[in-house]
Structure 1
Amino acid sequence: MDKARGEKGRRSKERLLRAAASEFALQGFHGTKISSIVAQAGLTQPSFYLYFASKEAIYEELVGEFRSRFKELITRSRLEAGIQTEHLPARIKAGLERIFSFFILHGDLTRIGLRAAGEADEIKAEIAEMMQENLIVEQEAGYFRNDLDMEIASAALMGVIEQLTFTYLLTGYKDASSLAGQVVEIFFNGMMATDE
């Protein structure tokens, strides 16, 4: 009986979190009411307070979830030493595709974490710093030119990822794979025409 009750509670909390993400993404923090969250979740206000002390508490949990999952993706995308040069573009594309796929799957969380949250700029700066650390390690492994400033490269990459996510990905104009492919082409192969 306790196991069934625990599972029901977990599902209820998850429904509240998904409903809250949707409401916050559409209405913003100030425009969202607890009553609209519970209505969308199909639950009652007393059930909301079983899991969250306030609207701020559920919002903070959503922002924290986005932040930790995005950081995990960046950590997992670091290239290990010893990859053959011809395999680098595909490996980089796969990492970017995972990030874009996460954004599609969690569109409301993405809207909150990258744009709506009060700490969105802090989150993006933190992610850019993690990207910079990855790029420095990868530069030291010989994958990238030594004369490049990886702080600038990571800031540019973060800006591109954010802009493409909101302009093409979350609007449905492009998919994760094609966007990741374009980023790799632009960043790693350049825009200059070749004689080929």
Structure 2
Amino acid sequence: MQGRGNPISREETNTKKSEERRSELLGIALELFAKFGYHNTKISDIVKQAGVAQGTFYWHFKSKEAIALEIIASGRAEIAKVIGQGYRSHSGTVEDMVTASELLLTSLFRFAGSNRYFMELLYAGAGNDEVIRSAVNETRNEMERAFRRNIERAVELQMLPANIDSSLRAMLLVSLIEGVISRWLFGPRETESELSRKTAEELAAETARFEFFGLLGTTKNTANEVKKGSSK
């Protein structure tokens, strides 16, 4: 039969358009939340930028809170997936751990660089709304738990000492990473600083070395050699 079209194809087309519209609303809401804060962003601002009626928004989302919570939950899942790559299946040397950490941090910094608005929401955009702030805090807590699982796994494999405080180490590590990401993406930075020009790979290499070897950025043996040389 001609002229009627394929009803399945029309349904698929409509579904695709609906999904695209939903994704567009999510992206616009995220941008506005990051730039102006959750509290200062209204649904009317979101639909105005999207060029749709408020009814379209409510077709996809129950409220402003609902769209914000979905944005945060989606970002949380992506971050957990990235950090989960560091869960080791077998033992290795210190150099193996440094290399693995560098790869993990590269993925995490790439995610942060590609999702700048989400990171800004995570660090500064929740405002005073208790529900949204709680969701943001849970995302940051999940990062800490994911790193703690990686550390505990390394202890199981005898790659790290059995007596370390894995919760404290995870907290210190996440604080380091959050600080690096925040300064890298948002500042403040010294005028002559080249931090903003560093790639995710360069930043990951520096952070991984600091994670394992501290300010010297060297192994213990090399550090001893430096100490001996300075005492001559």
The answer to whether residue 153 in structure 2 is matched with residue 137 in structure 1 is: yes
2:216 is equivalent to residue 187 of structure 1: no
Shift, 1:173, TM fit: 4.1
Q: Which residue of 2 aligns with 1:47?
A: 56
Q: Give the AA of the match of 1:11.
A: E
- Displacement of 1:83: 3.5
The secondary structure found in structure 1 opposite 2:159 is coil
Letter in 1 for 2:172: A
Alignment of 1:5-44 (within 5 A): 5-44=14-53
Q: Is the 8 A contact 2:72 2:139 kept in 1?
A: no
Letter matched to residue 131 of structure 1: F
Q: Number of paired residues? A: 196
Q: Does 1:113 align with 2:122?
A: yes
Confirm or deny: 8 A CA contact 1:38 1:48 kept in the other structure.
Answer: yes
TM-score normalized with structure 1 length:
0.90
What amino acid is the match of 2:83? I
Q: 2:90 aligns with which of 81, 87, 96?
A: 81
Which whole-Å deviations, capped at 9, do the CAs of 1:45-71 have from their partners, x for residues lacking one? 221111011111111111111112112
Unaligned 5+ segments in structure 1 are none
Q: TM-score, normalised by structure 2?
A: 0.77
Pairwise CA distance, 1:98: 0.7
**Aligned pair in 2 of structure 1 residues 14, 153: CA closer, same or farther (>3 Å)?**
same
Q: Distance in 2 between matches of 1:189 and 1:142?
A: 19
Question: Which stretch of the first structure deviates more once superposed, 108-117 or 160-169?
Answer: 108-117
Q: Percent identity?
A: 25
Distance 2:94 2:173 in 1: 21
Aligned-residue offset at 1:149: 1.8
1:101 Cα deviation from its structure 2 partner: 0.8
The CA deviation string for residues 15-56 of structure 1, in whole angstroms up to 9 with x for no partner, is 000000000001111100112112222332221111011111
Question: How many angstroms apart in 2 are the aligned matches of 1:179 and 1:42?
Answer: 39
CA contact (8 A) 1:25 1:116 kept: yes
Q: Which amino acid is the alignment partner of residue 56 of structure 1?
A: E
Indicate the residue corresponding to 1:95 in structure 2: 104
Task: Give the 3-state SS of the residue equivalent to 1:29 in structure 2.
Answer: coil
